[in-house]
Amino acid sequence: MLRCSWCMKKIKENDPVFGLSVKFAEGVDYSDQEGSITQLWLETRNTSVPMIVTTADSEAKEDGSDAMFALCSEKCGKKMKETLNKETTTIKEFKDIYGIKNVQQLSYFNDFSSAC
Ligand SMILES: [Zn+2]
Protein backbone atom coordinates (compact mmCIF):
# COMPACT_ATOMS: atom_id res chain seq x y z
CA MET A 1 0.00 0.00 0.00
CA LEU A 2 1.33 3.36 -1.04
CA ARG A 3 1.08 6.37 1.21
CA CYS A 4 1.19 10.08 0.46
CA SER A 5 4.72 11.24 1.23
CA TRP A 6 3.40 14.38 2.83
CA CYS A 7 0.24 13.59 4.83
CA MET A 8 0.67 9.77 5.01
CA LYS A 9 -2.84 9.18 3.69
CA LYS A 10 -3.22 5.78 2.05
CA ILE A 11 -3.38 5.96 -1.72
CA LYS A 12 -5.38 3.12 -3.27
CA GLU A 13 -4.71 1.76 -6.72
CA ASN A 14 -7.30 3.86 -8.51
CA ASP A 15 -7.03 7.00 -6.42
CA PRO A 16 -5.54 10.05 -8.09
CA VAL A 17 -1.84 10.40 -7.43
CA PHE A 18 0.72 13.11 -8.08
CA GLY A 19 4.25 12.01 -8.80
CA LEU A 20 7.34 13.97 -7.92
CA SER A 21 10.65 12.83 -9.30
CA VAL A 22 13.86 13.67 -7.44
CA LYS A 23 17.55 13.60 -8.15
CA PHE A 24 19.84 12.97 -5.19
CA ALA A 25 22.65 15.27 -4.19
CA GLU A 26 26.26 14.17 -4.64
CA GLY A 27 27.13 11.23 -2.40
CA VAL A 28 23.55 10.15 -1.69
CA ASP A 29 23.06 6.57 -2.82
CA TYR A 30 20.05 4.32 -2.33
CA SER A 31 20.83 2.01 -5.25
CA ASP A 32 20.88 -1.08 -3.01
CA GLN A 33 17.19 -0.42 -2.37
CA GLU A 34 16.05 0.15 -5.92
CA GLY A 35 12.49 -0.85 -6.70
CA SER A 36 11.48 -0.65 -3.07
CA ILE A 37 9.84 1.89 -0.84
CA THR A 38 12.23 3.24 1.72
CA GLN A 39 12.27 6.14 4.18
CA LEU A 40 13.95 9.42 3.46
CA TRP A 41 14.91 11.54 6.46
CA LEU A 42 13.84 15.16 6.12
CA GLU A 43 15.98 17.38 8.31
CA THR A 44 13.69 20.39 8.11
CA ARG A 45 10.59 18.38 9.11
CA ASN A 46 12.40 16.22 11.65
CA THR A 47 10.73 13.10 10.30
CA SER A 48 11.12 10.56 7.54
CA VAL A 49 8.80 10.08 4.61
CA PRO A 50 8.18 7.17 2.23
CA MET A 51 10.18 7.34 -0.97
CA ILE A 52 10.16 5.00 -3.98
CA VAL A 53 13.69 4.24 -5.19
CA THR A 54 13.89 4.16 -8.96
CA THR A 55 14.98 0.91 -10.61
CA ALA A 56 18.03 1.10 -12.87
CA ASP A 57 16.21 -0.03 -16.02
CA SER A 58 13.02 1.96 -15.53
CA GLU A 59 11.61 4.76 -17.61
CA ALA A 60 11.92 7.04 -14.60
CA LYS A 61 15.66 6.40 -14.31
CA GLU A 62 16.14 7.09 -18.00
CA ASP A 63 14.48 10.40 -17.35
CA GLY A 64 17.18 11.18 -14.78
CA SER A 65 15.17 10.41 -11.67
CA ASP A 66 16.78 8.63 -8.68
CA ALA A 67 13.61 8.36 -6.64
CA MET A 68 9.95 9.32 -6.60
CA PHE A 69 7.39 10.57 -4.17
CA ALA A 70 3.71 9.73 -4.44
CA LEU A 71 1.39 12.49 -3.26
CA CYS A 72 -2.38 12.39 -2.77
CA SER A 73 -3.13 15.94 -3.88
CA GLU A 74 -1.65 19.00 -5.49
CA LYS A 75 -1.65 20.67 -2.10
CA CYS A 76 0.56 17.95 -0.62
CA GLY A 77 2.77 18.17 -3.69
CA LYS A 78 3.26 21.89 -3.18
CA LYS A 79 4.20 21.46 0.49
CA MET A 80 6.57 18.65 -0.38
CA LYS A 81 8.30 20.82 -2.95
CA GLU A 82 8.69 23.67 -0.46
CA THR A 83 10.37 21.25 1.91
CA LEU A 84 12.59 19.65 -0.71
CA ASN A 85 13.84 23.11 -1.61
CA LYS A 86 15.44 23.21 1.84
CA GLU A 87 16.76 19.64 1.83
CA THR A 88 19.81 20.51 -0.20
CA THR A 89 22.10 17.95 1.46
CA THR A 90 20.04 15.05 0.10
CA ILE A 91 18.07 16.47 -2.82
CA LYS A 92 19.74 18.07 -5.79
CA GLU A 93 16.66 18.76 -7.86
CA PHE A 94 13.06 17.64 -8.31
CA LYS A 95 10.24 17.94 -10.80
CA ASP A 96 6.64 16.94 -11.36
CA ILE A 97 5.97 13.71 -13.19
CA TYR A 98 3.32 14.61 -15.70
CA GLY A 99 0.73 12.22 -17.06
CA ILE A 100 0.55 10.02 -13.98
CA LYS A 101 -3.02 9.66 -12.76
CA ASN A 102 -3.02 6.69 -10.42
CA VAL A 103 -0.77 4.24 -8.60
CA GLN A 104 -0.96 1.70 -11.41
CA GLN A 105 0.53 4.19 -13.85
CA LEU A 106 3.18 5.16 -11.36
CA SER A 107 4.20 1.54 -10.88
CA TYR A 108 4.34 1.10 -14.63
CA PHE A 109 6.70 4.06 -14.83
CA ASN A 110 8.95 2.51 -12.18
CA ASP A 111 8.51 -1.13 -11.27
CA PHE A 112 8.08 -1.04 -7.51
CA SER A 113 4.80 -2.99 -7.48
CA SER A 114 6.42 -5.93 -5.71
CA ALA A 115 7.33 -3.62 -2.85
CA CYS A 116 3.73 -2.58 -2.23
ZN1 LIG B 1 -1.30 13.92 1.01
Mean pLDDT value of segment 51-70: 94
DSSP-assigned letters across all residues of 21-36: EEEEPTT---GGGTTS
- Specify the pLDDT at position 113: 65
108 C-alpha to ligand 1 centroid (Å) = 21
CA 32 vs CA 28, 35, 98, 101: distances in Å: 12, 9, 27, 28
113 C-alpha to ligand 1 centroid (Å) = 20
User: Mind listing the pLDDT tens digit for each residue in 1-45?
Assistant: 799 999 999 999 889 999 999 999 999 999 999 999 999 999 999
CB 60, CB 53: distance < 8 Å:
no
- Specify the pLDDT at position 92: 97
Q: How many CB atoms lie within 10 A of CB 52?
A: 29
User: Mind listing the pLDDT tens digit for each residue in 81-100?
Assistant: 999 999 999 999 999 998 89
52 C-alpha to ligand 1 centroid (Å) = 15
Q: How many CB atoms lie within 10 A of CB 98?
A: 8
The verdict on pTM exceeding 0.95 is no
74 C-alpha to ligand 1 centroid (Å) = 8
